[in-house]
Chain A
Amino acid sequence: MRALGEFLTGRRFRDAVLLPVISLLCGFAVASVVVVLSGANPLDAFGALFQGAFTNRHAVPETLIATIPYIFLGLGVAVGFRAGLFNIGAEGQFYLGAVFGVFVGFNLHGLPGIVHVPIAFLAGMFGGFLWASIPGVLKARFGAHEVITTIMLNYVAFLLTDYLINNKGPLADKHATAPKTPFIDATAQLPILLPGSRLHMGLILALLAVPLVWFLLARTTIGFRIRAVGLNATAARAAGISVGWTLVTVMGISGALAGLAGADEVLGVSHFMPPSFSVGYGFDAIAVALLARSNPWAILPSAFLFGAMRSGAGFMQLVTGVSADLISIVQATVITFVAAPLLVRWIFRLREVPEAPVHIAEVGGLGAAAPGSAAPTTLEETATS
């Protein structure tokens, strides 16, 4: 009990729980103002949002379906953050993952599902990995800033998929009237988890990815390298760690997770690929990772929250007439507050919980210490457990 009390008043609780929750409340507060200005009642709007996300028929499975890509993508962006990399290209990597996944899905025939699905997933991971390695190599070799290159590669990815799928593109379904790829084989489709809904096995995979990523970061030499480079690349280099190679690895892992999300979306939900495929999951994922402060475990609630908003927004628009884009306002405000913890502290007059002075640097900017690089606890954990 004493340990719990200490945790509730300590810095880690404030950083990991209190600040995100306050940021979220601020997000809804700002959104309420917008709702009022647009002539509607915020309580009605948020009520409908909640209803659409949780209480309607099929609402919970649909929320979970939307949560799945957020988990993969959020983990991917978070891994990048831990190495000090800002991967804005998750959306493009998501597209490439979907393209590779759908390609394997409709081109391989006669395989049992237990073989076809893993191959398709691996292909998707490879697609995302490939796409993310480009900025990784550019950064490691030439110092090109990953924010620029990943953003640009997003556009290349969108146009590339357009080319592949539209009309006479190599992946286009020749018999369809609207541009799209053929349907994937039944053997590549993910089994349904909850009969009568669209909720598929991808959820299990996503739930497994969380401890795996945590393990990678906290328990392996690769994870140590990633964290060391993210916290202080110069010191890591002086200790003989290859910073360039680490950055390539991190971008690869980040892209593979994004590709996994793309493949999952094709194999589990749509079963084919239209040209405008994503609803911006890859961009939302940046917010998911920021809200989770790049902690793999915290990605779970963070992704669930975004999944709920995503799945409830349509219903809210339907009943209250408030645009579904309202959730973008909530998201944007949340990011602002998460990125500016001093602002939150100032608004709520939170007392500074003192610790090592170096942690002030933790709030850093884009290129600085990874947002949310948590306190170094791995050793403490092993020692006390």
Chain B
Amino acid sequence: MSGDIPEMKEEAYSEDQIVRYLLGDLPEQAQVEIEDRAFQDKQYLQSIVAVEDDLIDEYARGELSDSERRRFEQRFLSSQERRRKVEFARALAIVTTELARPERESFPARAPAASGRPGALAAFLRGLNPAVGFALAASVLLILIGGSWLFVENLRLRSELAELGREQESREQRRQALEQQLAEERARADETAARLERERGQELARQLERAVGESTTRPAPPAIASLALLPGVSRSGGARSKLVIPQATGRARLQIGIEPEDEYSRFSVELRAQAGQQVWAEDNLRPRAIRGGRVVVLNLPANILQNGKYELVLKGVTGERSFEEIGYYYFEVLKK
């Protein structure tokens, strides 16, 4: 359907406009035009996706200006899917750089020195004594051979130099990668949570496809029941947050908001039932930055939670075995 919307302003097609759209930099009317067009023209939609991928790559490579980077982070990093795309782009940038063949060193074509005036040189040689001429010709030949050898050797050395450069770059990347490994291990818990999210998304898509195929549609229960707990909620407060767990739910996910002043790098969580008995505890939880602050995410099997009221204690880790209780959160579980 390309070109089916003649009234569409031409600038809406430009890559620059799409970049501004993706960064949330366009007025509402221009955004609407781009979206309308994208919903009706698959090719245009693909162009936006392509520009989006390039923008993500530029962010991953650190090529965006400060203001673009800020807008990108506000707009792009708000969803899990986008964050996964950024992570993939980071890997892609590293691997494509690694696999890049260095630009072939370009050498200007060098014409033989003697090619400028062959007639004059021949006349000069003819005018010489034969023995002197022979010696001179032999010298020129030697110079040419030596020059050629030097030229070839020069090429070889440049090639080796380029190869060494590549190896050095590769070693440097590997060193940096190893340094990151420890941090990666620490982030494993976060990745697990992200994978759970992905699995949930995929499961939902499969269920939808199945539903369409079989012409039967029953809203599937979520694989994960989620509840966000905000800081500063008193025990005596009125309405208590409710975590509704449908029957087939396998996991429960509690997103625990942290007060800005609680700048701990690790947290510990203890979950108690109404009677006071501990039902779950987890240490070494790393906070995540989200739009609007920091949270700790607790994933736990849904089957350990029963109908009733719960208290969650959030502790900041202050040392090897020392904790500071910094927050209490109250919620109610309803199993369906």
Tell whether A pairs with B.
no
Chain A residues proximal to chain B, CB less than 8 Å? none
